Structure 1
Amino acid sequence: MTSTHHTQTRRPLACIVLAAGKGTRMKSELPKVLHKVAGRSMVGHVVAAASALAPDRIVVVVGPGMEDVATEVAPHATVVQESQLGTADAVMAARPLVEGFDGDVLVVYGDTPLVTPATLSRMTEARDGASGDPAVVVLGMRPDDPGAYGRLIQGADGGLEAIVEYLDATEDQRAVTLCNAGLMAFDGRRLFALLDAIGNDNAKGEFYLTDAVAVARAAGHACRVVEASAEEVVGVNSRAELAAVERLMQHRLRAAAMAGGATLADPETVYFSHDTRLGRDVTVGQNVVFGPGVEVGDRVEIRPFCHLEEVRVASGALIGPYARLRPGADIGPDVHIGNFVEVKNARIDQGAKVNHLTYIGDASVGAKANIGAGTITCNYDGFFKSRTEIGAGAFIGSNSALVAPVTIGAGAIVGAGSVVTRNVPADALTVERSKQSVHEGWAAGFRTRRAAEKAARSK
């Protein structure tokens, strides 16, 4: 990803991600920031946005016992906020890794997964000396309903004079629509001097990061505001808010897909992962779900009700409807994967057709091979997975079971209904089924006997 930060001329940059919140309203054993949006953890989204600026270091602040969060954000450093005494206390936990840093320090939150690299970059740019060398830059927003948000009070020059909490605000201050979004950028040389001066004389006895503005202004330092959309800085504290953020993220991903040249028949029914990649002139039908790790080439058509995850689909392929492509599926150019077909850990080469009611797992299918309806590659014996190799131009008849490990040679034909347990040479015919027998009149006699038995039982 191209950095939105000017790496050649920029000042050194560090980022502190606050991720220690327990998220009790989530009613979950999983730490709040590990809940996923578009297939990636919330803290993963935030770290990715920060990483796009190519910072010199990223430090993630976690709570006690949050080793799984540390694993999620590795290789970035983590520190533990032992005391849990507010947002300023959380930043102070990062002091051993950031103190003395001669550059900008971004402070962001692990539960705001919609924040973009562009907004973070604008915050660091506002720290530039041309802007008056502000000690603190605060991210603001203008929500439709300002409600109980803290208000950002600006001076005549546009500088930030104060953050006033709603309960402490006058009527005139409450009329201000510019609200505090929480994210902040600091001059690293002044950061901890400001935090050291923050007190906890409040109802909760906590140290609030927002008080850094008052401390900075009292010391004669300038502060500034950068605005972002309210949508971008939505935080998550409950399952309902998680669902709301997922909707916003999906709207963003759908718009990006269409802007990139894909057609979505009914955008609101298509669900993307954060890393879905679609080529040009891709058509996606209704109710298609892209799990993580999907790459789709140009001119692919994905028909309705398909599910794809960790797969590659090459140009010109036709997928679905009702197809499931599982991890490891590698679909070649101009391949047809039809209705109720499942492919897992298998390569399907150019022009091959797997059109109906079929399972292809741990296999390779050669170019222009045709796999008949109801075919199964029997890849698991209860202990081990084995592979099936189907050569180019082979024809597999309907309702066949290919018991792996087995190889079907190029151009070979497997008769319908066969259970194939031995390799088939190229251009050979194999038929493996019982000899058909015919007993004339048997069916009529059967029906007569059974009807009589039923009548006798009903008396």
Structure 2
Amino acid sequence: MTTRPIAAIILAAGKGTRMKSDLHKVLHPIAGRPMLLHLVASVGALAPDRIVAVVGAGREQVEAAVAPHGLSIAHQAEQLGTGHAVAQAQAALGGFSGDVLILYGDVPLVTAATMQRMIDRLHGDDAPASVVLGFRPADPGAYGRVIADAAGRIERMVEFKDASDAQRAVTLCNSGLMAVRSEDLFDLLARVGNDNAAGEYYLPDIVMLAAADGRASAVIETDAAEVAGVNSRGELAAVEADWQAKRRAAAMADGATLLAPGTVWFAHDTVIGRDVVIEPNVVFGPGVTIADRVTIHAFSHLEGATVAQGCSVGPFARLRPGTMLERGAKVGNFVEIKNAVLGDGAKASHLTYLGDADIGADANIGAGTITCNYDGFFKYRTKIGEGAFIGSNSALVAPVAIGDGAIVGAGSVVTADVDPGALALARARQEVRPGWAARFRALMQARKASK
């Protein structure tokens, strides 16, 4: 194991024309997180000294996305190949002495463990000049090939366009990811030429340049899915599907029940406890934590929500950011909650909107209740006390507080605070006119018959 500093160069300068999108290719999300930020998170687990993003077309979008994460930026004004792209990071790595990982913003699912394996191999007993991450796809297609001996020492690297038929028959392919010592990287890149079929400066050429100096490089292998690249919407969907399949398997292995696994969609940071039951067609957006023994019923959507032990959600419920369900709370069908706390054992069983609200333990929110939290300019909170009962089809106009144990009669529009234990009725008194309906019908039928 090495204790040398680590830096990472992430190439994100490509135009991504096959995506046919105004959004930069590396910012398209997988599991609710932009591809590029998946890589940033994985590299971050290695505690790197520096991360450099090499940007080009659409650089403003990429720079804005990475700004909160402290990345350095290097600009590749012309697209002259991967070797040229990496060379643009030299200034950003000025004064750095350590090991450099070279990654690709559109190859988002490489794990920190694989990155660490690359670094460890770089410091093997044979001290390779560089380490290449290889893989064996089902269809090698137009990938560059890695010709290596049984020990993984590279004999030749060749791009598909420049490969012979015999070389194209090799199944070990180059993912493009590499680990190189900073002391070697830019000296080797300075010697890379573009005398090839594409007229580009290829990063893998540094392997053969080092070999000419008598220094061999090594290849280590990983699963093809881990280095799957995204260049089109179809490839994006395929990588998403692979990520989701693995996440579902992990959730079940950790003690959750997924009744129809293929219909459940997780976000990159979803946390699921033990003995959780997730019914079909449930979607988790970012920022959701589910405690033990929770049931998420079918067709529910959760984002930015925390659900405590023993709660029940749905079916057809929507929990929006800022929602907190405390122990044993129940949210039923067609209930939407936003920026609100539902206390222990509280219930909102159906057809309700609760926004910007604090609901006490064991409160019961009747069907059709809404908190009117927005006046067109500002938002206000509603407070509902412990054990309060809100009758069906009530509107609580915030800011307003309903005291502990209070009752709000069905159909009320509440605009003032209600004392604990009080009954609030805010509706017109019912008027009954005997025989009116019969007289009305007779009159209208007579009018219709006369026409």
TM range (shorter): over 0.9
Q: Is the CA contact 2:14–2:57 (under 8 Å) kept in the aligned structure 1?
A: no
Report the alpha carbon displacement of residue 67 of structure 1 after superposing the two structures with TM: 2.4
Match among 102, 125, 135 for residue 120 of structure 2: 125
Report the alpha carbon displacement of residue 391 of structure 1 after superposing the two structures with TM: 0.3
Per the alignment, in what secondary structure is the counterpart of residue 98 of structure 1? coil
Match among 266, 277, 283 for residue 277 of structure 2: 283
Report the alpha carbon displacement of residue 68 of structure 1 after superposing the two structures with TM: 2.5
Report the alpha carbon displacement of residue 65 of structure 1 after superposing the two structures with TM: 5.0
1:78 equivalenced with 2:73 (yes/no): yes
Q: Is the CA contact 1:358–1:374 (under 8 Å) kept in the aligned structure 2?
A: yes
Output the CA distance in 1 between the equivalents of 2:124 and 2:226.
27
Q: Is the CA contact 2:143–2:174 (under 8 Å) kept in the aligned structure 1?
A: yes
Q: What RMSD over aligned residues (CA atoms) do the two structures have, in Å?
A: 1.5
- State the partner residue of 1:421: 415
Q: Is the CA contact 1:99–1:188 (under 8 Å) kept in the aligned structure 2?
A: no
Distance change >3 Å, CA 173–CA 202, structure 1 → 2: closer
1:56 equivalenced with 2:49 (yes/no): yes
- State the partner residue of 2:303: 309
- State the partner residue of 1:406: 400
Q: Map 1:39-438 to 2 at 5 A.
A: 39-63=32-56, 66-74=59-67, 75-99=70-94, 101-130=96-125, 132-438=126-432
- Identical residues among aligned pairs (%): 61
Output the CA distance in 1 between the equivalents of 2:265 and 2:63.
28
- State the partner residue of 1:33: 26
Q: Aligned AA for 1:450?
A: M
Q: Deviations over 1:296-328 (max 9, x none)?
A: 111111100001111111111110000001111
- Which is worse superposed, 67-76 or 82-91? 67-76
Per the alignment, in what secondary structure is the counterpart of residue 339 of structure 2? strand
Output the CA distance in 2 between the equivalents of 1:344 and 1:147.
49
Report the alpha carbon displacement of residue 29 of structure 1 after superposing the two structures with TM: 1.6
Per the alignment, in what secondary structure is the counterpart of residue 247 of structure 1? helix
Output the CA distance in 2 between the equivalents of 1:53 and 1:149.
28
Output the CA distance in 2 between the equivalents of 1:276 and 1:156.
41
Q: Deviations over 1:345-396 (max 9, x none)?
A: 1111101011010011111100000001111111111121111100000001
Q: Is the CA contact 2:263–2:281 (under 8 Å) kept in the aligned structure 1?
A: yes
Q: Aligned AA for 1:45?
A: H
Distance change >3 Å, CA 262–CA 156, structure 1 → 2: closer
Match among 10, 24, 27 for residue 3 of structure 2: 10
Report the alpha carbon displacement of residue 83 of structure 1 after superposing the two structures with TM: 2.5
Report the alpha carbon displacement of residue 84 of structure 1 after superposing the two structures with TM: 2.1
- Which is worse superposed, 45-54 or 163-172? 163-172
- Which is worse superposed, 198-207 or 230-239? 198-207
- Which is worse superposed, 197-206 or 292-301? 197-206
Q: Is the CA contact 1:216–1:222 (under 8 Å) kept in the aligned structure 2?
A: yes
Output the CA distance in 1 between the equivalents of 2:446 and 2:330.
51
Output the CA distance in 1 between the equivalents of 2:243 and 2:327.
31
Unaligned runs of 5+ in 1: 1-5
Q: Is the CA contact 2:145–2:158 (under 8 Å) kept in the aligned structure 1?
A: yes
Distance change >3 Å, CA 393–CA 153, structure 1 → 2: same
Match among 414, 419, 433 for residue 439 of structure 1: 433
Report the alpha carbon displacement of residue 455 of structure 1 after superposing the two structures with TM: 4.3
- State the partner residue of 1:3: none
Per the alignment, in what secondary structure is the counterpart of residue 87 of structure 2? helix
Distance change >3 Å, CA 224–CA 100, structure 1 → 2: farther
Output the CA distance in 1 between the equivalents of 2:293 and 2:128.
50
Output the CA distance in 2 between the equivalents of 1:395 and 1:38.
39
**Paired positions, count:** 449
Q: Aligned AA for 1:283?
A: V
Q: Is the CA contact 2:324–2:340 (under 8 Å) kept in the aligned structure 1?
A: yes
Q: Is the CA contact 2:394–2:412 (under 8 Å) kept in the aligned structure 1?
A: yes
Match among 9, 13, 21 for residue 20 of structure 1: 13
Report the alpha carbon displacement of residue 99 of structure 1 after superposing the two structures with TM: 4.8
Output the CA distance in 2 between the equivalents of 1:217 and 1:99.
26
